[in-house]
Chains A and B, each alone.
Chain A
Amino acid sequence: MNANIDRLRYRCQLRQPASERHEESHPLTWRLREDNAPIDLAEYERKNGYVGTRRALTEHSASEVIDIVKEANVRGRGGAGFPAGVKWSLTLQGEDIPRGYLVCNADEMEPGTFKDRMLLEQQPHLLIEGMIIGAYANNARFGYIFLRDEYREAAASITRALNEAREAGWLGKNIAGSGFDFDIALHTGAGRYICGEETALLNSLEGHRANPRDKPPFPGQSGAWGKPTVVNNVETLCNVPAVLQHGADWYQKLSGGRSDDGGTKLYGVSGRVERTGLWELPIGTTGEELMELAGGMQSGHALKAWLPGGGSTGLLLPKHLELPLDFDSIGEAGSRLGTGLLTVVSKEQSIVALLRNLEQFFARESCGWCTPCRDGLPWTVKVLQALERGEGQPEDIDLLQHLGKGLGPGQTFCAHAPGASMPLTSALKYFRDEFEAGVARPPAAVGEA
């Protein structure tokens, strides 16, 4: 059992040796140790830790910090790619506005995704730094890390780091002599995928059912406990300290012209490749380059399709590997970059079974608030199960198409069902024959065979 867990852990670690990671080119991972052990405060500070924070708090006003992050064009790494600086600039601030919260979305539960986990386990201080800067920019009075319950190791690591930071004065009153007060609490979730949706996360944080909230008002206007609240993904916040340390220009150039977006991205690959794991690469790295780092497909397997960034992104074909893995390029190909962790599908694997597995997950994780998601997703599961058993009916393909459409963006309350419909509609587009094969042949046809 333990060996199994260790093997799984090994398979989701960073694959770049320390010698290949540098402060100026690998802002997210250059400090990480070869032994994958968490970096404590002493080591972190030794490795230029909290420089960005000190600079933000003592050299810049809150609005300057926002401008820098905006200029750097840090795009949200949770999957949607919304520019963090723009989000921050929309947070209500003012004398008659109560100070609100900065919430880190660490409820990483996207199928095939394990990047935040690595950051949280090994480098919690980078996140704390990002949160302090984010809180300062957004005038937040308190921070929460909403952590996926299964990330027990991360919880221990974060708790240790929070204590260290508090002791060292990086959290609490008058941080770094700046007059800014801020502290962070760790909140572990109860294991619902929907809590990764920022407003469902806020409801859950408040102790309510994890149903998403309607927008507007956005969390920046009325978030946790009705106060202005910023919710950022772990990786997004981890990008911020280096931006403050080295500047927006530097960050922009990190992608080396591969993409209009700046910075690096934690990419990953899982599935039937030689080497699964994580790589910090310039954003805009192509799928081909990433697959090469992963050592290509395992012998006996050929690539049939791939999910660019989690279970809620649309399937792409091998030919799409030539695209830069950035938000816009993958979007134009009809999918989403999502979390940027590729899941590869081998020709030996059944698309119908894959979809059945995914939709079962999404149906189970529906919060049950809106009708299409609550009642439509389980229906797709039932149909997919029938097709998987070869008991499908000829109308089932059209029905799936219809369901996929009804679960699309704008028709459901939040992005959960549209996320679930994306792999389904793309699979129907690219692999319709596999679905058709699941339709039961009429008895006469069976007889002839």
Chain B
Amino acid sequence: MATIYVDGEQYEVNGSHNLLQACLELGLEIPYFCWHPAMGSVGACRQCAVKQFKDEDDDKGMLVMSCMSPAKDGTRISIADDEAEEFRQSVIEWMMISHPHDCPVCEEGGHCHLQDMTVMTGHDRRRYRFNKRTHRNQDLGPCINHEMNRCITCYRCVRFYRDYAGGEDLGAFGANDNIYFGRYEDGTLESEFSGNLTEVCPTGVFTDRTHSERYTRKWDMQFGPSVCHQCSVGCNISAGERYGEVRRIENRYHGEVNRYFLCDRGRFGYGYVNRDDRPLRPECPNGDGERRELDVDEALDRACELLRNAKGIVGIGSPRASLESNHQLKQLVGEDHFSTGLAGNEQACVERMRALNESCGLATPSLREIEQHDAVLVLGEDPIQSAARLGLSIRQAVLGRREELAEERGVPLWNAEAMKTLAQDQRYPLFTAYPQTTGLNGIVEQHWNLAPADIARLGFAVAREIDPDAPPVPDLDVSTRESAKLIAEKLLAANKPLLVSGGSLGSKAIIEASGNIARALAKRGKQEAGLSLIQREANSAGVEMLGGQPVEWALDRVLVGEADTLVILENDLYQRLATETLDAVFAKTPKLLVLDHQRTVTLERADLALSSASFAEADGTLVSMEGRAQRFFQVYEPRHMRPETRLHESWRWLHALAAERDKEPATDIVLDAVVRDCAERNAALAGIVEAAPDADFRISGQKLARSPHRYSGRTSMRAHLDVREPAPTRDPDSALAFSMEGYSGFDRPRQVVPFAWAPGFNSPEAWNKFMDEVGGHLRAGDPGVLLFRSADEVSDYSGEIPEAFVRGDDWQLTVLPRLFGGEETSSRTQPIIERSAPAHIAVARADAERLGLRDGDWLSLTGQFQALTLPATVNDQLPEGLVSVPAGLDPALITGARVSLSRIQLDEEVSS
């Protein structure tokens, strides 16, 4: 702690911070641009100038940049000093010289840090009378709009894009007052994290292009505090809605998970919520191949008829549906008739992952904790593709060496450029093993291109090197042993080694190998080490904890005649199993009752489809790969703008169904009741009640407002339907109100924050007001609750060591996860489709040369599934004998499958 004096007042602050951060934490306002809590200070914008005095007797003082000055004990500054104020006004005046002043048509307007800071400094008169400098804008792809004329040249964009996120295709060009931030030529920004530019940029240079078509000011949106459903990391998001459509996804600060940043799949992959073809009402086939819509009562009647007439019902849950919905399904069909909806191998992987998380002897780190690790081994995952936000944290961990070096040399940890200069390319060790290069390749110490079995063997060998009691790897070759020795040495030399693995390659052996390394590290006393296991879907962990049989079991019940009715919850089986498998089951003509928010192939086959709410219209709980149960809240009530819709949370449908079937009085159920019931019936999930405050939570007797207090048009936005304004929809499920009325401030601690706003801060910078310290935790504590329970004993080593991969006459298939196109729901969204690389079959260069294959040759892939024809790409990294395809093409393609390839000669006549 340090004592500093600001305008004569004495304050206690964290002495390791800079003065800007220290003052912001005290609630003192200093305008700023280039400083960012996650990226430190660079002193470029000069906006945060204050007057600093040498001592008590110094009445002259000198201007310093508060972001570049340490909050040393005894520091005396003045924010209110006339000269400082005048200078800060001048800085804005300079920045505005060439700014277009186009706020009315600028999409940043209303959540613009430049607007906020301009107001804060009081600059309101223009003196510059000459021509403005103008720039040409670029097409940066489907996600980001570019308007360089608005730039104030704070350099935040390139610092985030290049230094923080490792991107290479955005740079600073030019010099003097002609600095240009862009690509060397037009084209889609390549970084998986480009969307953060829209929040990092303090003005409207980079804005959300997906929002552009249906643009709404921040103050005119209704927000829901939500959790991203697009992977297992569990990033917190704030989804904004108007006129019954989701308009934008923004980062919602969580001090342990995503903090300030999201990946592009999470930010731009929401469009499936707005699709025109969504089932908005229950529907059923009308007998002539068409489908007809039903009202709720009729749908429930039909559903009950289906259930009552059934001779054996099986419920199929889903890892992309909430715990509550899965729980209600399990209650409806009974524990013995419930499937998790996970494919068998997937479920086995998830089960093993939880077992390891709870009993390998190491903790499961949060993303924030991951960034504190000082050696990383990634086995069988490309985190940038499978859990992108986690990959970004691994990058920060590896770059953390900068901080160690800075501390050695007395460079303050906020002095970003100085740390970069000092460290250069010195990083903490990162080792990766994967069938081909990964998104972390730029920062690895060593990478191995290996077949899945060999990745597992390398892992087992590392465990053995760390602890001689770990089982030996049979027939281990010298080079793998040397590699294992190197990795083991580096992991043991680190204070906090981190293992990252997961189920992306569908290999239990890889997971077990990571488990053995974890156990070995635990036994060697590396208690600070961590194990992070990546799962595929948003609620994979939750549905596994709820318990149930894999989906193949459910289908077998139909095949063996034990069941003739399937209740399928938010699960497109055609995304999980081969078409042939499913066709065989459906040939038995089981009755299908499908609940979903997307028009999937499965839903189209349903005898009755119930229109479920997507995350945007629903409340529920997800359990992330970290075991963190997090509640997501409804963003908007769909019937408000579209009265014809009949969208309900699946758990609400399923409750009504159960009540109807059991002829109980059809009372509505509320979220808290489902949560409590789920917690009571499942010991492992007992904690979920605490994942968020219940619906009775109030601040000063008020519910929490979903909309900013400046929300406009409430009385007229439904005028095309009815000139009378209905009362706002009541929300019985949460402490949130579908209204601008209610609490929306920052000063009373709360976990449930639909949107961040504080007086003077309309931009995302307002989040800093909600934290205990800037970049720290929400003052009310970060939302969610950790469910994994560490066992007292470290579990025994696994001895399931696979044999080394040997290439045969056929090929071994690997299916590689991909951020864009590799996940079901986001893949139904246009910008994600545009960013998905074209599907291809990758063949190792040596194999391609042997076969005379070239890029673009058409290959037919055959195995235990329908043949697939795709163009070839020759891959320099892939081990010989392996072919790879990207995830999301066909669920029949499974890593490890033996396949054959044949070249297709396109028929000239037909093709012409």
Binding site for B on A (CB under 8 A): 192, 209, 213-214, 216-217, 221-222, 225-226, 363-372, 374-379, 382, 386, 393, 395, 399, 402, 406, 410-413
Stretch at the interface among B411-419, B469-477, B577-585, B824-832: B411-419
A419 CB → nearest B CB, Å: 15
Instruction: Give the chain B neighbours of A209 by CB distance below 8 A.
Output: 172
Q: Are A221 and B177 in contact, CB atoms less than 8 angstroms apart?
A: no
Q: Are A411 and B46 in contact, CB atoms less than 8 angstroms apart?
A: yes
Q: Are B153 and A374 in contact, CB atoms less than 8 angstroms apart?
A: yes
Q: Are B177 and A213 in contact, CB atoms less than 8 angstroms apart?
A: no
B700 CB → nearest A CB, Å: 42
B38 CB → nearest A CB, Å: 19
Q: Give Cα A379–Cα B95 distance, bound, in whole angstroms.
A: 11
Q: Are A214 and B417 in contact, CB atoms less than 8 angstroms apart?
A: yes
Stretch at the interface among B364-372, B420-428, B502-510: B420-428
Q: Which of B46, B87, B91 contacts A413 (CB 8 A)?
A: B46
Instruction: Give the chain A neighbours of B179 by CB distance below 8 A.
Output: 368, 374
Instruction: Give the chain A neighbours of B128 by CB distance below 8 A.
Output: 379, 382
Q: Which of A214, A226, A395, A411 contacts B42 (CB 8 A)?
A: A214
Instruction: Give the chain A neighbours of B43 by CB distance below 8 A.
Output: 214, 370, 413
Q: Give Cα A379–Cα B129 distance, bound, in whole angstroms.
A: 9
- How many residues on chain B are close to A (CB under 8 Å)? 45
Q: Give Cα A413–Cα B418 distance, bound, in whole angstroms.
A: 14
Can you list 28 A-B contacts with CB-CB less than 8 angstroms, sorted by A residue number?
A192-B175, A213-B421, A214-B418, A216-B418, A217-B422, A221-B409, A222-B418, A226-B405, A226-B426, A364-B176, A366-B176, A370-B45, A371-B47, A372-B94, A374-B94, A374-B179, A378-B97, A378-B176, A379-B94, A379-B128, A379-B130, A386-B130, A393-B129, A399-B127, A406-B87, A406-B90, A411-B46, A413-B46
Q: Are B153 and A371 in contact, CB atoms less than 8 angstroms apart?
A: yes
Instruction: Give the chain A neighbours of B415 by CB distance below 8 A.
Output: 214
Q: Give Cα A411–Cα B25 distance, bound, in whole angstroms.
A: 24
Instruction: Give the chain A neighbours of B130 by CB distance below 8 A.
Output: 379, 382, 386
Instruction: Give the chain B neighbours of A374 by CB distance below 8 A.
Output: 94, 153, 176-177, 179
Q: Give Cα A363–Cα B178 distance, bound, in whole angstroms.
A: 11
Q: Give Cα A372–Cα B98 distance, bound, in whole angstroms.
A: 13
Instruction: Give the chain B neighbours of A371 by CB distance below 8 A.
Output: 44-47, 91, 94-95, 152-153
Indicate whether B559 reaches chain A with its CB closer than 8 angstroms.
Answer: no
Indicate whether B68 reaches chain A with its CB closer than 8 angstroms.
Answer: yes
Q: Are A368 and B87 in contact, CB atoms less than 8 angstroms apart?
A: no
Q: Are B176 and A368 in contact, CB atoms less than 8 angstroms apart?
A: yes
Q: Are A365 and B176 in contact, CB atoms less than 8 angstroms apart?
A: yes
Q: Give Cα A192–Cα B174 distance, bound, in whole angstroms.
A: 12
Q: Are A372 and B176 in contact, CB atoms less than 8 angstroms apart?
A: no
* Residues of B7-58 contacting chain A, CB below 8 A: 42-47, 49
**In the complex, which residue of chain A has the Cβ closest to the Cβ of B129?**
A393
Report B157-188 CB contacts with A as 1/0, cut-off 8 Å. 00000000000000010111111000000000
Instruction: Give the chain B neighbours of A370 by CB distance below 8 A.
Output: 43-46
Q: Are B94 and A222 in contact, CB atoms less than 8 angstroms apart?
A: no
Q: Are B46 and A368 in contact, CB atoms less than 8 angstroms apart?
A: no
| CB-based closest 9 A-B pairs | A375-B94, A382-B130, A368-B179, A226-B422, A366-B176, A222-B422, A226-B424, A378-B177, A406-B90
A407 CB → nearest B CB, Å: 10
Whether A410 touches B94, Cβ cut-off 8 Å, given contacts A366-B177, A369-B44, A399-B127, is no
Instruction: Give the chain B neighbours of A412 by CB distance below 8 A.
Output: 46
Q: Give Cα A375–Cα B33 distance, bound, in whole angstroms.
A: 15
For chains A and B in complex, what number of residue pairs have CB atoms within 8 angstroms? Answer: 111
Q: Which of B45, B62, B63, B68 contacts A214 (CB 8 A)?
A: B68
Binding site for A on B (CB under 8 A): 42-47, 49, 62-64, 68, 87, 90-91, 94-95, 97-98, 127-130, 133, 152-153, 155, 172, 174-179, 405, 409-411, 415, 417-418, 421-424, 426
A406 CB → nearest B CB, Å: 5
**In the complex, which residue of chain B has the Cβ closest to the Cβ of A362?**
B176
Q: Are A217 and B44 in contact, CB atoms less than 8 angstroms apart?
A: no
**In the complex, which residue of chain A has the Cβ closest to the Cβ of B62?**
A410
B125 CB → nearest A CB, Å: 11
Instruction: Give the chain B neighbours of A366 by CB distance below 8 A.
Output: 175-177
Known: A371-B153, A378-B97. 17 other contacts (CB 8 A): A209-B172, A214-B68, A217-B409, A222-B421, A363-B176, A367-B176, A368-B176, A368-B179, A371-B91, A372-B94, A374-B153, A375-B97, A375-B153, A376-B94, A378-B133, A378-B177, A413-B44
Instruction: Give the chain A neighbours of B63 by CB distance below 8 A.
Output: 410-411
Q: Are A402 and B424 in contact, CB atoms less than 8 angstroms apart?
A: no
Instruction: Give the chain A neighbours of B97 by CB distance below 8 A.
Output: 375, 378-379
B68 CB → nearest A CB, Å: 6
**In the complex, which residue of chain A has the Cβ closest to the Cβ of B68?**
A214
**In the complex, which residue of chain B has the Cβ closest to the Cβ of A386?**
B130
Q: Are A222 and B176 in contact, CB atoms less than 8 angstroms apart?
A: no
Q: Are A226 and B47 in contact, CB atoms less than 8 angstroms apart?
A: no
A385 CB → nearest B CB, Å: 9
Q: Give Cα A266–Cα B422 distance, bound, in whole angstroms.
A: 36
Instruction: Give the chain A neighbours of B133 by CB distance below 8 A.
Output: 378
Instruction: Give the chain A neighbours of B94 by CB distance below 8 A.
Output: 371-372, 374-376, 379, 406
Instruction: Give the chain A neighbours of B42 by CB distance below 8 A.
Output: 214
Q: Give Cα A436–Cα B416 distance, bound, in whole angstroms.
A: 45
Instruction: Give the chain A neighbours of B95 by CB distance below 8 A.
Output: 371, 375
Instruction: Give the chain B neighbours of A363 by CB distance below 8 A.
Output: 176-177
Q: Give Cα A387–Cα B409 distance, bound, in whole angstroms.
A: 50
Q: Give Cα A221–Cα B15 distance, bound, in whole angstroms.
A: 22
Q: Are B155 and A369 in contact, CB atoms less than 8 angstroms apart?
A: yes
Identify which of B49, B68, B98, B128 gathers the most chain A CB atoms within 10 Å of its CB.
Answer: B128
Q: Are B409 and A410 in contact, CB atoms less than 8 angstroms apart?
A: no
B605 CB → nearest A CB, Å: 59
Q: Are A411 and B49 in contact, CB atoms less than 8 angstroms apart?
A: yes
Instruction: Give the chain A neighbours of B405 by CB distance below 8 A.
Output: 226
Q: Give Cα A374–Cα B98 distance, bound, in whole angstroms.
A: 12
Q: Are A368 and B409 in contact, CB atoms less than 8 angstroms apart?
A: no
B422 CB → nearest A CB, Å: 4
Identify which of A221, A374, A379 gathers the most chain B CB atoms within 10 Å of its CB.
Answer: A374
Q: Are A411 and B421 in contact, CB atoms less than 8 angstroms apart?
A: no
Q: Are B424 and A372 in contact, CB atoms less than 8 angstroms apart?
A: no
Whether A410 touches B64, Cβ cut-off 8 Å, given contacts A221-B409, A370-B46, A371-B45, is yes
Q: Which of B127, B178, B418, B426 contacts A213 (CB 8 A)?
A: B418
Whether A222 touches B90, Cβ cut-off 8 Å, given contacts A363-B176, A374-B177, A375-B177, is no
Q: Are B46 and A222 in contact, CB atoms less than 8 angstroms apart?
A: no
Q: Are B175 and A375 in contact, CB atoms less than 8 angstroms apart?
A: no
Instruction: Give the chain B neighbours of A382 by CB distance below 8 A.
Output: 128, 130
Q: Are A367 and B424 in contact, CB atoms less than 8 angstroms apart?
A: no
B569 CB → nearest A CB, Å: 54
Identify which of A192, A214, A386 gathers the most chain B CB atoms within 10 Å of its CB.
Answer: A214
Q: Give Cα A406–Cα B417 distance, bound, in whole angstroms.
A: 24
Q: Are B418 and A368 in contact, CB atoms less than 8 angstroms apart?
A: no
**In the complex, which residue of chain B has the Cβ closest to the Cβ of A414?**
B43
A218 CB → nearest B CB, Å: 10
Q: Give Cα A377–Cα B128 distance, bound, in whole angstroms.
A: 12
Q: Give Cα A413–Cα B43 distance, bound, in whole angstroms.
A: 7
A58 CB → nearest B CB, Å: 33
Q: Give Cα A216–Cα B406 distance, bound, in whole angstroms.
A: 12
Instruction: Give the chain A neighbours of B421 by CB distance below 8 A.
Output: 213, 222, 226
Q: Are A411 and B87 in contact, CB atoms less than 8 angstroms apart?
A: yes
Q: Give Cα A213–Cα B68 distance, bound, in whole angstroms.
A: 12
Q: Give Cα A413–Cα B546 distance, bound, in whole angstroms.
A: 58
**In the complex, which residue of chain B has the Cβ closest to the Cβ of A393?**
B129
A442 CB → nearest B CB, Å: 17
Instruction: Give the chain B neighbours of A369 by CB distance below 8 A.
Output: 44, 155
Q: Are B62 and A213 in contact, CB atoms less than 8 angstroms apart?
A: no
A365 CB → nearest B CB, Å: 7
Q: Which of A368, A399, A406 contacts B174 (CB 8 A)?
A: A368
Q: Give Cα A402–Cα B93 distance, bound, in whole angstroms.
A: 12
Instruction: Give the chain A neighbours of B417 by CB distance below 8 A.
Output: 213-214
Instruction: Give the chain A neighbours of B426 by CB distance below 8 A.
Output: 226
Whether A368 touches B178, Cβ cut-off 8 Å, given contacts A214-B68, A217-B418, A221-B409, is yes
